[in-house]
Structure 1
Amino acid sequence: MIVNAILEKKAGRLVILNVKEISAFTDYFVICDGTSDRQVQAIAGSVQERMKKSGIHPLGVEGESAGKWILLDYADVIVHIFHQPVREFYDLERLWDDVPRMEIPDEATELNSLSNGM
């Protein structure tokens, strides 16, 4: 649901990091970016709306008003939505370089259309 909500808003460079073997606080990081603060906010809104329709609410939301780096905490999944230059600066993927990952092509329209499993 999260990935499809992100793809719906045309996010860029979507990657899913499987951190459950080395993290005590979550199982997955979902990281993506947008080209503007408005797109970053729209992506976050899309994720929250889709999850809410399924009765799932975030434990926490950070950075929503600024739209530079929005974090949505869904316990087992933490979503990081960056404005492109902010993502480049923090480079979270480098910090978790040794974990299994799935990179979703920018042209993907939904996760079910992908055959690459984790």
Structure 2
Amino acid sequence: MESLDLLNIAAQACDDKRAENLVALDMRDVSLIADYFLICHGSNERQVEAISKGIKDAVEEEGIEVKRIEGKDDARWVLVDLDDVVVHIFHAEERQYYNLEKLWGDADEVSISVS
């Protein structure tokens, strides 16, 4: 599966759990970490957990292995590593504080399709 397709699956899973302000960054020319970062936030810890579980379920349905999920215990910043795509799910307050969009400002924003 192409990494852009994986990005869209993860984005749809986020949208299905009502994640807010989805932003996708093309990291291919900026970092070796991943092809894409997907950044979103939830309004509380329970929603952040639900978003991460929704992503896990959606990609596993497609036969894709989740490499690692970090931060689930506190649910303030959960990172879902899908290898070529890394999803950052923040609690709203942490998203403002860490401001990854600004930190990775050299990365181009990617259009994602969610319905």
Q: TM tier, shorter chain?
A: 0.7 to 0.9
Counterpart selection for 1:64 from 59, 63, 72 = 72
Which structure 1 segments of 5+ residues have no match?
Answer: 105-110, 114-118
Offset at residue 59 of structure 1 (A) = 1.1
Equivalence for 1:116: none
Alpha-carbon separation, structure 2, partners of 1:12 and 1:112: 12
Q: 1:112 to 1:89 in 2, by over 3 A?
A: closer
In the alignment, is the contact (CA less than 8 A) between 1:32 and 1:80 conserved in 2? Answer: yes
Runs (4 or more) in structure 1 with deviation over 6 Å come to none
Equivalence for 2:3: none
Offset at residue 21 of structure 1 (A) = 0.8
Offset at residue 60 of structure 1 (A) = 1.1
Offset at residue 70 of structure 1 (A) = 0.4
Tell me how many residue pairs correspond in the alignment: 107
Q: Aligned with 1:43: secondary structure?
A: helix
User: Scaled by the length of structure 2, what TM-score is found?
Assistant: 0.87
Offset at residue 103 of structure 1 (A) = 6.4
In the alignment, is the contact (CA less than 8 A) between 2:11 and 2:114 conserved in 1? Answer: no
1:93 maps onto 2:101 in alignment: yes
Equivalence for 2:5: none
1:49 maps onto 2:57 in alignment: yes
Equivalence for 1:81: 89
Which structure 2 segments of 5+ residues have no match?
Answer: 1-8
User: Scaled by the length of structure 1, what TM-score is found?
Assistant: 0.85
- Flag the structure with higher helix content: 2
Task: Supply the AA of the counterpart residue of 2:11.
Answer: V
Counterpart selection for 1:33 from 25, 41, 61 = 41
Q: Aligned with 1:26: secondary structure?
A: coil
